[in-house]
Amino acid sequence: MSPGRIAEQSHSGPAPPDRFSTIRWLGSILVIAAIYFIAGKLGLLLAISPGYATAVSPAAGLALGCIASGTTLQAYAGASLIRWFVGMPTALATEKEVVRFSLISTATCVIAATIGVTALWIVRVIHSADYLTNWVTWYVGDAIGTLIFAPLVLIWTQRAADWRRKLSITLPMTLTLAVVVALFFETDRWEQGRARMEFDQRVESLTQKLQSDFNSYLDVLRSVQNFFASSPSVSQDSFRSFVARDIADHPGIQSLSWDVRVPKAKVPTFIEKARHDGLTNFQLTERDAQLKLIPAALRDEYIVSRYVEPAFGNDMALGFNIASDPIRREAFEWSRDRAEARATKQTKLISEKGTVPAVVVYMPIYTNGLSHDTLEERQHRLEGYVASVLRIGDVIAQSLRGANQEGLQLRLLDDSATSTRQTLFRNSIDRAKPAALQRNTSLEMAGRKWSLECSLSSEYFLAHRSWQSCSVRPGCGTNPGAGCGQRHATSRDC
């Protein structure tokens, strides 16, 4: 073998790698990743509040346009089909290329929609009834994003295409995107305003209904107060007859009672008279730290429940010294000193069924025929109190029975509580999910300030979007690698 031939063979074989080409290839990947990230952020910007369903998904078209990356099944399938049926590189210069590209682009978007929605359905993020709706909106969003952005990527990566050709495609596509985005924001603004107005109307109506019903319960107590003020004496039977109708008409009333002021010197006579009236086991009682009834301790004065209606289920309250309870004592002393009704904060009351969460409203009764204009006169001439024990949950439940509370999460709080705000009522225990709309209103009940927190669930908000809004929001998705952008279809869509 000649030296010349040996020298020729030593130079044969693969050429050494071009370092510049490798750097350029890596740089292209980084640029694509950066653009894809920006496109995903744009997808989030176009998300429909309160969820993450996007009106247009730019990243969907970018993933398919940048066919060299092939990072996802959808992008890989689209790239392979375009190479096969359209040819690469392509500037989409002919009608045939445009038609084939459009068909392939829209067809391959089925992949991400099917895989993504099915995955959400498997992990029970969406329900079976919502599968088709989520699939359609996901698919349409990907398809529109692909048809807008993929041609731009292909055109601008073609060195052979002239500037006029690039601009003739870029300007219409950009205009289309601008129109879609503007239409999206305007429709979303309109939809948000419509939803807020309807929500505010529902909250106002509900607040007025609750306040009216609270006043109705307070009117019952005022009626009983007037009954005592206009009667020289009130017997157990007359008390029962007078309050029977009010108790029947107000299902939230646990009991109505007449609580008598009894000085220590008159206790024996008071007990003897009660037993003479048929309460053979009548005695003054209090409750200990375990809420068990025990004989009342010696005190200078007692406020004792003498009449209680309905008697059934409330017998244990007879003879109870309400002055032994600090919560109730604060309320009835406030009522006595101001000659106004006063409600307690929520407390636990004794009944045949155990302890019952409730609120007690007290109304003072003064000696008939004597003035009680000053604080001293009120304290000296107090005869006792008419009291109404209210199960607030039942009061509100009755009030809500005829109201539209679909999708509403309600919580009633006592703002007058000294330490922490007490929750008096809630219609839903699930408050972990973010609310689409929220509003607080104020209510008043016998000197106490209550706050009604109203929130509208995201599920209801999305399920009741108008047809105009639904027609503008093309879709949503959760598969950024497939060209759907960074978005999450975790809520039900139009």
Taking the C-alpha atoms of residue 14 and residue 268, their distance in angstroms, rounded to an integer, is: 118
The CATH number of whichever domain residue 290 belongs to comes to 3.30.450.350
- pLDDT category, 204, cuts 50, 70, 90? very high
pLDDT at 480: 33
pLDDT over threshold 80, residue 320: yes
| Whether residue 133 sits in one domain with residue 49 | yes
pLDDT at 149: 72
| Whether residue 94 sits in one domain with residue 187 | yes
Q: What's the Cα-to-Cα distance from 371 to each of 258, 379, 381, 383, rounded to whole Å?
A: 21, 12, 8, 13
| Whether residue 372 sits in one domain with residue 421 | no
What percentage of the chain reaches a pLDDT higher than 90? 32
Mean pLDDT, range 175-204, rounded to an integer: 82
pLDDT over threshold 80, residue 340: yes
The string of pLDDT tens digits covering residues 210-256 is: 999 999 999 999 999 999 988 888 999 999 999 999 999 999 999 99
| Whether residue 359 sits in one domain with residue 288 | yes
Q: What is the DSSP string of 307-366?
A: EEES-TTTGGGTTBBGGG-HHHHHHHHHHHHHTS-EEPPSEEEEETTEEEEEEEEEEEEE
pLDDT over threshold 50, residue 466: yes
| Whether residue 362 sits in one domain with residue 429 | no
Q: What is the DSSP string of 127-187?
A: -GGGHHHHHHHHHHHHHHHHHHHHHHHHHHT-SSS-HHHHHHHHHHHHHHHHHHHHHHHHH
Residue 25 lies in a domain: yes
What is the value of pTM for the model shown?
Answer: 0.64
- pLDDT category, 30, cuts 50, 70, 90? low
Phi-psi region of 215 (alpha: psi -120 to 50; beta: other; left: phi over 0): alpha
| Whether residue 171 sits in one domain with residue 258 | no
| Whether residue 177 sits in one domain with residue 35 | yes
Domain that holds residue 368: 253-390
Taking the C-alpha atoms of residue 406 and residue 415, their distance in angstroms, rounded to an integer, is: 26
- pLDDT category, 87, cuts 50, 70, 90? low
Q: Which candidate, 445, 427, 423, 391, places its Cα nearest to that of 252?
A: 391
| Whether residue 458 sits in one domain with residue 474 | no
pLDDT at 73: 65
Provide the number of structural domains found in the chain: 3
| Whether residue 128 sits in one domain with residue 33 | yes
Mean pLDDT, range 464-478, rounded to an integer: 46
Q: Which candidate, 96, 97, 63, places its Cα nearest to that of 78?
A: 63
Please count the other Cβ atoms lying within 10 Å of the Cβ belonging to residue 6.
9
Under 8 Å CB-to-CB from 451, ≥6 apart: which residues? 412, 413, 414, 415, 421, 440, 441, 442, 443
| Whether residue 171 sits in one domain with residue 142 | yes
Burial class of 322 by CB neighbour count within 10 A (0 to 12, 13 to 18, 19+):
buried
- pLDDT category, 58, cuts 50, 70, 90? very low
Q: Which candidate, 390, 314, 384, places its Cα nearest to that of 354?
A: 314
